[in-house]
Amino acid sequence: MKRLGVNIDHIATLRNARGEQHPDPIVAADYLRKLGVNSITIHLREDRRHIKDLDAKMICSKKNLLVNLEISTNPKIVNIALRIKPNFICIVPENRKEITTEGGLNLKKNKKKLQKIINQFKKKKIRTSLFINPSLTDVETAIELKADCIEIHTGKLANLIKSKKKYLYEIKKIKKCAIFAKKNNLEVHAGHGLDYKSTKLLTKINQIEEFNIGHFLIGESIFDGLPIVIKRFKKILR
């Protein structure tokens, strides 16, 4: 069974729209755990557009919940993450104007900075993942940096599938990276833009052990409810 991580940033976005407490991402995290998801993902952005510091602190303090905290390389955010100690860290690129994380990290440009951050989290025994594009060069760098995992950005694949364009080349690229990473003892995750169809296709790549899904899963729950949507994803991942 592959693991399902659910990104709950969109629940915080909905809450923030009213500036009140409902829907509460902390309650959502507990509810999702009860529905059997393997972990919760939250992204503490520099602009705090969805998850706020207190959400991150409260969610990370829950003993019975595995939390994957997405962060940029901003030193202030890194320090918060070191203090609130999530179970897992995923380092992602961040840019103020983006609607969502648009691509993987620029590993070449940020190598030194990333090495320092990875070492800091390793010292605290926090599993650290790098969000990368499906590129063998980037996998190679992730191996050099001694990250624990890579999360492969699946946004391009997801868009090709949604727009009914040819996606075979993209999926082959992801597969090659997953095989290469796994052979070199990196755990392989996938995320971004995934829905039922793209997730199902990616389950054929044995090396991918974890899927982190947010927008489609939360959006689809408006129609079918979280219990049914989670059940469907879990069936796909079985």
> Which residues form the catalytic set?
43, 70, 192
For 206, the 3-state DSSP assignment is coil
For 131, the 3-state DSSP assignment is strand
Q: How far is the CB of 105 from ligand PXP (least distance, A)?
A: 10
Strand partners, 150: 130, 188
Alpha-carbon gap, residue 92 to 106, rounded angstroms:
9
61-120: contacts with ligand PXP (CB under 6 A):
70, 90, 92, 100-101
Q: Which of 39, 214, 226, 230 binds ligand PXP (CB under 6 A)?
A: 214
Our CB check for ligand PXP shows the closer of 20 and 205 to be: 205
Helix (H) or strand (E) segment spanning residue 193: none
Our CB check for ligand PXP shows the closer of 171 and 193 to be: 193
- 71 Cβ contact partners less than 8 Å away, ≥ 6 residues apart: 43, 44, 77, 78, 81, 89, 90, 91, 92
Draw the binding track, 123-142, toward ligand PXP (x: CB under 6 A; -: no contact).
--------x-----------
Our CB check for ligand PXP shows the closer of 41 and 207 to be: 41
Alpha-carbon gap, residue 194 to 155, rounded angstroms:
7
Question: Which chain residues interact with ligand PXP by CB under 6 A?
Answer: 7, 9, 43, 70, 90, 92, 100-101, 131, 151, 191-194, 212-216
